[in-house]
Amino acid sequence: MTKLILLALDKSPTLALLSRAFHAVGYKTVIAHNKAGVEKVMQESHPALLLLGSSLQKKKSTELIEALLKQYPTLPIVFLATENSPELTRKALRSGVSAYLEPPLKTDEIVDAVQSSLKRARRIGDWMRQEIKGTTASLEKRISEMEVLLAIGRDVTGTLDLDGVLKNVVEAAVNLTHAEEGSLLLLDEKSDELYMRASHNFEDGFARSFRLPVNDTLAGQVLETGEALILSKEALHKIQTAYLVQSLIYVPLKIGERVIGVLGVDNRQHRLPFTERDVLLISILADYAAVAIENARLYQASENERSKFEAVLSNMNDALLILDEQGIVQLVNDTMCNALAVEARDLLNKTIPEVISQRDFLALLELDDDKKTQYNEINTEDQRVFRAQYTNIQKVGAVITMQDISHLKELNHLKDNFVHTVSHDLRSPLTAVLGYAELLERVGPVNKQQKEFIRRIHTSVEDITELINDLLDLGKIEAGFDIHRETLQLESILRYALSNIEIQSKNRNQILDIDIAPNLPPICGNAVRLRQMFDNLIGNAIKYTPEGKRVSVELHLEGTQIIFKVSDQGHGIPQDDQPHIFEKFYRASNISSSAPGTGLGLSIVKTIVENHNGRIWVESKVGEGSTFFVVLPSKKTHK
C-alpha cells in the first residue's frame, strides 16, 4: 500500500518540489496549511508520517507536536525548522519528533529523513505487534485457565457427585500444569496412610491399591505442615517418593485449619520444571476439592440425620404432618396418610386444601392470629376418632399431630350408655318409692318424727329424680336425638324463660336487669333446648348470687352473631376451676357440697350451644361475680 505523507507547510514553491520528490519515491502526499487542517487529515486519512514546518505554528509548533503524539503515539514526525534557533531545536527534540532538519533545507535530505523515520516506525510497529501477539497468547492462556477453574467451581456447587468432581479436579490440575499425571490423596485416619481418592493417567489397579505412609514421605510432609511443595529432579533425588519422578507439586487440601489430604501433579518422563503459577493453580483446585469433600460430608451427615428422623417419624404412633410457611406439605408420616386415606406422594409439595376435603381437618388450619395452637376432633371415614393439634412454629411453618382416641371415645360411649340405662331403670323404682312414701300418711296416723322422715324421703327422691332427668337429658342431647330445628326469635324464648325465672330472683330480693336489643335477626335452633340453656345460666346466676345483689341479662347483635350475656355479683368461680366447670359433675371448689345442684347444668348448656354452632365461655373473679357469654350465629338471610 502506498504510504501517505502529510505535508504541514506554508504555501511555497518548495512545497510543490517536495510533493514531486515524494511521489518520485513512491509516496502519496496530502497538504495542510494550518493546525485545523492537520487535525482533520489525521482523523480522516491516517497518514503514515507528518512533515511539519516550524513556520506553520511558529512558537506553538512544539505544543502541536506534543498534542499530536499524545493522540497518535506511534506517528513519526519530521520537523523542518525554517530558521536556525537553538531554543526551537531543543524543544522540538524534547517533544519527541523522529527527525529534525535545519536550514539550509535540501529536498533529498528531507526525503532521506522521511524514509528513515518511516523505516524506524515500521520496526517499532513490528515489535509492538509481536509484543501484542505474545501478550494476547498469554492472556488467552489465562482466560482458558480461568474457564477451567470456573467450570470446576460450578461443578463443586452444582453437583453432589463427589467422585465426578474430584476426578475433574485432578484432570484439570494435570491439564493446566501440563503435567503427566495427577492424584488426590486423602488421609485414612485409622491407618495413618494416604490413599488415592481420585487420579488421572494412573493405572486403575495402581490407583486402587495405592497406600502411602504419612511418615517420611513428601505427601505426608505436606499433610503435616500444611505447606505446598514444588520440587525438581535435583532436589528430589535424595528424597523418597512412592515412584520415580522428575518434578512434582503437592499442595494441601484444607478444611479450615485441618489438612485432610494432598493434591499433586508430577512428571515422570520430561524434565520441564513446574512454576510458582502452577502451584497457584493447583492450590485453587485443591481448595475446590476440599470444599466439595466437605460439602459431601455435610450433605451425608444431614442425610443421615434426616433418614434417622424419618425412621422415627414413620414408626411413631402419632400422625404427623409438617407444613412450611406457605402452607405447603413438607413431610408426612405413614400414620397420617393412613388416617387421612391419602398417599404421601399426593400430599407432598401441595397445600392441604388441594388434596384433603375433610371439614374437621380443614377447620384446624383456620387458626386465629393470636393463638399458637388449635385443637380439633377429627372423625375419619373408617369410624376412627383423632384428637388433632395444629401448632404454628415461627420461621418453620406449622406442624399437625394427631392421636387416635377411638378407644377412649368408645369407652366414653359405653359409660354414657351405662349411665343412660341405669338412669332409665332407676326411674320406675323411684316413682314407686315416692308413691309409697305418699301412701304412708294416708293409711294411718304418723307421728311428727315419722312425718319429718317422710319429708326427707321426698326431697331425696326429688334430688335423685332431678339428677336422673339431667342425665337422661344430657344423654339425649349428646346423642343428637333432638335434631329438630326451626327459625325462631331468641328474644321471645329469653322473655319466656325470664317470666318463669323472675320469681326466683324476687324471692331472693335480687335486682334483675334485662336489656334486650330490638329487631334481632332470627336464628335456626331448637326452642326447647335454647330455653333450657337460658334457664340453666340465669338460674345459676340467681342461685350463686347472695340476696339483695344484682343479676343482669343482656341480648344483642354483633355482626352476624347474637350475644347472650348473664352477669352476677355472686361469689365468682376460682381461676383453677374455670376450665372445668363445663365438665360433667364438676362443681367449683368454693361451693359447699350441700348446695343444691348436680354439676350437670353447664355441661348440658355447653352441648346445646355447640349443637347450635355457638361458643360459650366465662369470665369470673372470686368475690366480685361472674359473666357467662354465649355467641350464636344468626340465621343466614338469603336474598
Least Å from the CB of residue 600 to ligand ADP: 6
Least Å from the CB of residue 447 to ligand ADP: 35
Least Å from the CB of residue 582 to ligand ADP: 7
In terms of CB distance, is 326 or 594 closer to ligand ADP? 594
In terms of CB distance, is 284 or 588 closer to ligand ADP? 588
CB 252 within 8 A of CB 226: yes
User: What is the per-residue burial (b if ≥16 Cβ within 10 Å, else e) of 40-70?
Assistant: ebbeeeebbbbbbbbebbeeebbebbeebbe
CA atoms within 13 A on the CB side of 75: 28
- Which residues face 230 on adjacent strands? 249
In terms of CB distance, is 169 or 573 closer to ligand ADP? 573
In terms of CB distance, is 168 or 536 closer to ligand ADP? 536
In terms of CB distance, is 9 or 542 closer to ligand ADP? 542
Of the candidates 285, 166, 265, 269, the residue with the CA atom closest to the CA atom of residue 218? 265
**Can you give the length of the chain in residues?**
639
Of the candidates 255, 275, 252, 256, the residue with the CA atom closest to the CA atom of residue 264? 252
Residue 486 main-chain phi, psi, to 5 deg: -145, 165
Least Å from the CB of residue 376 to ligand ADP: 24
**H helical segments located in 324-483:** 334-340, 344-347, 352-355, 359-365, 406-443, 448-478
Going by their DSSP bridges, the two strands 4-8 and 28-32 should be labelled as parallel
In terms of CB distance, is 182 or 539 closer to ligand ADP? 539
In terms of CB distance, is 156 or 541 closer to ligand ADP? 541
- Which residues face 390 on adjacent strands? 374, 400
Least Å from the CB of residue 465 to ligand ADP: 14
CB 361 within 8 A of CB 388: yes
Least Å from the CB of residue 597 to ligand ADP: 3
Nearest-angstrom CA–CA distance, 402 and 628: 31
Nearest-angstrom CA–CA distance, 373 and 389: 7
- Residues 6+ positions from 613 with CB-CB distance below 8 Å: 632, 633
**H helical segments located in 231-340:** 233-236, 276-315, 334-340
Least Å from the CB of residue 416 to ligand ADP: 17
CB 51 within 8 A of CB 78: yes
Least Å from the CB of residue 494 to ligand ADP: 17
In terms of CB distance, is 581 or 630 closer to ligand ADP? 581
- Which residues face 513 on adjacent strands? 552
Amino acid at 276: E
Of the candidates 274, 231, 228, the residue with the CA atom closest to the CA atom of residue 252? 228
* Binding interface with ligand ADP (CB under 6 A): 536, 540-541, 544, 568, 570, 572-573, 581, 586-588, 591, 597-602, 626
Distance (Å) of CA 626 to CA 366, 505, 590, 603:
30, 16, 13, 17
Least Å from the CB of residue 599 to ligand ADP: 4
In terms of CB distance, is 197 or 571 closer to ligand ADP? 571
Least Å from the CB of residue 588 to ligand ADP: 3
In terms of CB distance, is 392 or 552 closer to ligand ADP? 552
Least Å from the CB of residue 532 to ligand ADP: 12
In terms of CB distance, is 82 or 569 closer to ligand ADP? 569
